[in-house]
Structure 1
Amino acid sequence: GRRSNRMTRLRPEAMRAANPVACCRPRSGRLRVATLLEDLLDAQLRKGFDPAQEGLDPLLCAWEDALSSETGVINLNDEDAERLATASHHWREGVAGNVAPARACLELATPAEGEDLWPLRFFLQAESDPTLKLPASAAWAAGPRGLQLGEIPVEHPSEVLLEGMGRALTVFAPIERGLESATPEAMQLTPAEAFVLVRTAARQLRDVGVGVDLPPSLSGGLASRLGLAIKAELPERSRGFTLGESLDWSWELMIGGVTLTLRELERLSGKRSPLVRHKGAWIELRPNDLKNAERFCSANPELSLDDALRLTATEGDTLMRLPVHAFDAGPRLQAVLEQYHQQKSPDPLPAPEGFCGQLRPYQERGLGWLAFLHRFDQGACLADDMGLGKTIQLLAFLQHLKVEQELKKPVLLVAPTSVLTNWKREAAAFTPELNVHEHYGPRRPTTLAALKKALKDVDLVLTSYGLVQRDIDLLESFDWQGTVIDEAQAIKNPSAKQSQATRDLARTRKGTRFRIALTGTPVENRVSELWALMDFLNPRVLGEEEFFRQRYRMPIERYGDMSSLRDLKSRVGPFILRRLKTDKAIISDLPEKVELSEWVGLSKEQKSLYAKTVEDTLDAIARAPRGKRHGQVLGLLTRLKQICNHPALALKEKEASEDFLQRSAKLQRLEQILEEVIEAGDRALLFTQFAEWGTLLREYLQRRWRSEVPFLSGSTSKTERQAMVDRFQEDPRGPQLFLLSLKAGGVGLNLTRASHVFHIDRWWNPAVENQATDRAYRIGQNNRVMVHKFITSGSVEEKIDRMIREKSRLAEDIVGSGEEWLGGLEMGQLKELVSLEDNPS
């Protein structure tokens, strides 16, 4: 009090002037100082605080956004609003019964031998530890002085008990008989009343804050339902097994932890009582139990390895409508189950013979994982973080199959058009023994006979999602050894035509030995989009779409049911391998800077414009006086680089058109990678040497992600430049993407918040590019830096990139003199440099 009075006297005059009327009121000065201290402390605690939203409930995310907004309004859709109302209701109900440290508790006991009535005893139970209980007699005897529940003091225990019994009466009417005495301690229930308590009233009593303890065999959940106890083992084989093969197995019926035969079940059902005694335990029989058991016994089903893997993935799974309460696996089967459920990782595989390159340790583990799931004919989703080499691991897996002589037929790989070139290049570099064919373009086969002829001796066939949709009848009729989808998020919308066509292609299973999905998106957290992926990989895992919606999507997305989320993750976990760059086990395998060549093609418009520009300009250069030829050559190269970026740049368009994305293959690939960057919460620098391109790109990216994308160019003032850098580098809510002109932003900046650097168009001087990269890759950088260098296949970009990588004499000239050396090329050299190759090797 003395300190607050002193602070009030010493407060600055500015505080007094803020509200002179309030300052005249008693105690208003102390109140104003207290309010100020509260605001200062709140601001200090919030400074630099960036709460992680990954894995956070959508309602909590909405709440946080509201707190940080000016309006303070929570914006929810109808489903989330309904879910919030339901959750609030349950919270209020829970608070009503949780204000005291203890609550009333009802304990049901089973009848004594030869008796029909069920004892129901009253207890006082600790809220924080339900195992701490005292009989009602102790509560009545304690009186107002209170008692101890373990170390928990309870004041007025008799009032707590009476209040709880009163709430119990509103839910379970038979309690009224037990309250006839002044100090009730127990009562008896008829079999019908006991059944109501077990089946429905127990849950309702818990909802209003009354504890209920039932006999173990009647405690609710799947364990109290009729189910199966299974013993199973893998038959002895000389080679591996497929998931469809049968196990050696036996089973027993089980309910409430007690086994019984079909004949015993028939006898117990004849008593026409839902609660019956069997082998010393009371169990609950349900109307359809006998029918389900008879159906199961008459079917005499086989148990496959696939069934065993599914039944052991999560508790409560069913076999012909009967839940599996116990699964006893033999030694051989147990070893497979442990590996399959990732309790033990499959053995890593080294790079196969014929693979050109070296696999990192985590990539060898990925190869071993793919081979393990392939051994059981099961689909696999390789969901490694961007830059960890999903392409390389898949190619190594195909080479492994070829070396093991298991690659008997072609494998179909479906990818976005923008990455087909990259696949062809990577296959040629790492697995030159794989015969690769592109099913693409107007000359592709249109009949099954022509397709078979074209794919003779082919190992890997590349095609696009669009062509799968267009050629589905043809592709479905071919016998593929396996189907692989790259950028698997392309099928996330189950109702989209390309998603349906891709899943239909895998579902035919005509010769399809395996299915693999590659994606850098964390699919295990995308509940609403996970079904389509698993329907492609392993349709049996999540069932039909309507079942998935009712069992998982609605409980998780609408009601935030964490139990359903855990169950879902346990089901899909064995089929998804995800490693992050931030994983300490991965970090040790990676260099500090990872350089990635992003090979892209040209759209139809880009090809036409490129060819016409070369044709028109070469004639003009050939006729030009020698003194003017140098400038015209550099002008041609600049226009070609602009075309490789986007036709709009070369055509001097001022705004991004509606078909802006479709007109540039490079932009399509850039958007795909940026989507992964943004979803991962990373930040990225995007370098271009063309200010006009930066302006167009900024407009498009801001519209695409509805967020700020600053662009630092030569016209940016010094003050604006520093403000952009500070927002990107220091602000936790700052922009994730930062566009920079290569000349304006290539030196003098410290941008270590970025973990990705994109060179959208190439500056043909490695030193200049490296200087730009070092804006992020420098002292103070705590993350691996991924450097993405875009190269347009068959164009002048590829040819000069080849010169640089081959360390030729020309590359040394490039380093020393920038691009000036290009202006002095002879006409033959220039023509070879700029001519467009349709089918680059």
Structure 2
Amino acid sequence: MLHGLWSPGAGLTLWDDEITTGDEPDLPAAHSHVLSRTFRHRVRVAFPAADGGEPQLAQVPAIALAPMDAVDLLLRTPESHALISGDLRYLAHVARGIERWVRAGRVVPALELMDGQWWPRWRLVGGERQRAWLSELAVAMPPVQRAQERPKKILEDITRELTDPIVRSILGRPDSEHSLLSALVRDDPYADGTQQIAALLDKWRGTLTVDEPSLVLRLLEPDDDSEGADESEDEPFWTLQVCLRADGEAPVPVPMSRKVDATLLSTAVRKLGEAVAAYPRLRDLPSEEGTLDLLLPTSVVIDLVEHGATALQATGTTVLLPRAWTRLDPSMRLRVESPAVTKAAADRAVGMDELVSYDWQLQLGDMVLSEAEMNRLAVSKGDLVRLRGQWVLADGGQLARAAKYVAQHHGDGTPLSKLMREMTLADPPPAPVEDIRATGWAATLLEPGASPEPIPMPEGVNAVLRPYQQRGLDWLAFMSRLGLGAVLADDMGLGKTLQVLTLLAHERSTTPTLLVAPMSVVGNWKREAEKFTPGLRVMVHHGPARLGGEELDKAIAEHDLIVTTYALMAKDREQLSEQTWRRVVLDEAQHIKNAGTVQAKAALAIPAEHKLALTGTPVENRLDELRSILDFANPGMLGRPTDFRKRFSVPIEREKDEGAVTRLRAITSPFILRRVKTDPTVISDLPDKNEMTVRSNLTAEQAGLYKAVVDEMMAQIADAKGMKRKGAVLSALTRLKQVCNHPAHFLSDGSPVLKRGQHRSGKIGLVEDMLDAILGDNEKALLFTQFREFGEIVAPYFAERFGTEVPFLHGGVTKAKRDAMVESFQSEGGPPIMMLSLKAGGTGLNLTAANHVVHLDRWWNPAVENQATDRAFRIGQRKNVEVRKLLCVGTVEERIDSMLESKKDLADLAVGTGENWVTEMDTAELRELFRLSEDAVGE
């Protein structure tokens, strides 16, 4: 008969009492094969005595099996067999039990140090059910096995040695790129193993409670509910109630009673011991009589909540606080008082020098604290105190700093500019600013949702304002009346032009307004003024024949609105600065987003009673751009660029600091009016905009050029650093986009669009199909590209292909020709296709005759692309707008698009996307970003 014995350190050994080598017993094939081996080992076996006395020990020949061989044999051992002994069938039963735990997923990895190398090993996860299973096995263990060692030690050794090979027999050898997982499934050493990793895996295994109830410690308040109990001489004790919670059930207290299930009580005691070991401050505390509950002084309660709960959570223990008690984080409230009638009422707008009075207040939750309460909390012995009938936990140190801040920061008759600079440049409040309340005109300025005094529709305005445009007019008039600079940041197409013209008609100032705009929209301002406010006297200051000297001075005095360009504002800065202006308006104010440019400096140098910036994109790439625009509107309000960068740009853009976001929004929102066209409360009758990403394949010619560019770049950056490396990456990115557009664009060799009647570019073939369908429905399309040379290739081809004129608007087109292009395209019989360069055609134009927008190549800046799209998706559009953004499959275009789609902006404040971030990638990331996928090439 075949026997089996497990010895810790030696593993499974087989021996027999009758079978000898060479016999052919009726055994399973696996067992017969094992018996064909030589019995090289000796094992000590305890034979029962015939008289029932002490077992007799004897050394017998045996066969020793490695763990994997042992698993193979045991899992093939039948549950009953005449020639297989009970002791071997017992070991097979243990192995099959381990296999069931493994197939149930109750295993975790561990690391063991053997012969100087770290070896990954699979271990059972443990838990109450596994412990119960092992206890049952220990009771059923055969006597011959018990004679080797204590049953518990034998079973621990069996499960330790057999779990790993059983897992591997089930997993097989799947491919894995992760070195630890690869070592786990292949039984290889783990080269990166350390004692720290081994300890972390053991700690993780200890947190997996699996099926046993979890420990819950419920904190109960003292019975004494009197106010100021925390100040009494006899310190109250809190009860920490010990509970167990089964999965999906409520926590149940565990009293020390005979009626309590012994297993549950044992589990509670064991887990409470683990909790005390994890959080030693629970040691040596008094307990409630007849229970496991602990009695805690207030000092321990505070430490439990602030520190102990985290340590206990790591052991799987939950800490429940009383419902009536929660940690209250302090916050700040600002109260501003202003006179109901301002100095500006006497036609003397003083702007940021307007006087206000202000005070800071401290609140906990919804409670605004009095001075006495603040002082009591700030000097209390601990952070847990009674306040207005409830226990409050708050950071005493933070409360002390907040109380000091409240005492030091207040003012009567303070200029508004000083208050704004204090919020911008001074050390931030020690707690978040969550509420601003004000009186008088300051309420309209500072309180969110406050509405200024409605303005009646001025005479001589040939338009009906939409409700949101009326609110814009009211706000502009309010800011103008106070002399406060403003930023009207409505989305493109929502009518900023009309709102400003209506404001001028409302004021009827005898002092003219200077309006600065990109050259592409100068004519638009003049036409819109003639259309909506014909009573306004408008003069365009532009061109080589423009007025100068005394003639310009005289002409300015005779007009209400002077329209010029950014370039001429800088060029004629000296004379424009000598004029008296009621207002300076910057249209497309992102032109001064860089404070150091000549244009930005010129805008700051021109004095005016009121300054107004118009932009659909107040932040394109960096928060410094917002600072530059607001610095024009209210000089000095946000401090110097270095101060702003330290206080806001770096914390928000790099560190995603929500507190800095909140502070910046509180400071800037009073001076910015932002509405978006996708908000149905703003405008409900604009048609839908359907945006989609359309993918095309490369041709074989494009694929060959693409690979060549990538190989060249990787060779260039192999040893390059700094600007040389960045330059090589950006150059490659530009060239790859050219390849994706068309080989002729990349090669610049004047070669044709088609080759032997076939498209050389997958993109152009796809766009041609799109235009076939668009023109077949008698609709119009705008085609945007960032490359002028690409437009000069494509526009003539589409003109010939569809037998129509395809105008191409780019930076080299004169103003007169540009206006003619727009007017022709907008006319009913005008060309159905218009090509535009992204920058020259991206702002100010009204091209609502088109309801299809195609971005041939990507600038990777959503703000810029949306500006271009808004040439068609704006007021006046009556059809649904279809926006298609083209990408080439399996190329850098597709990968960058995927990365940007998954990136979320921070609270609508940051940070647009350009392309420079690509240069910061390491070489491996660049190789992956730029690589050409196998599915990139079409048929």
Q: What is the TM-score when the length of structure 2 is the normalising length?
A: 0.43
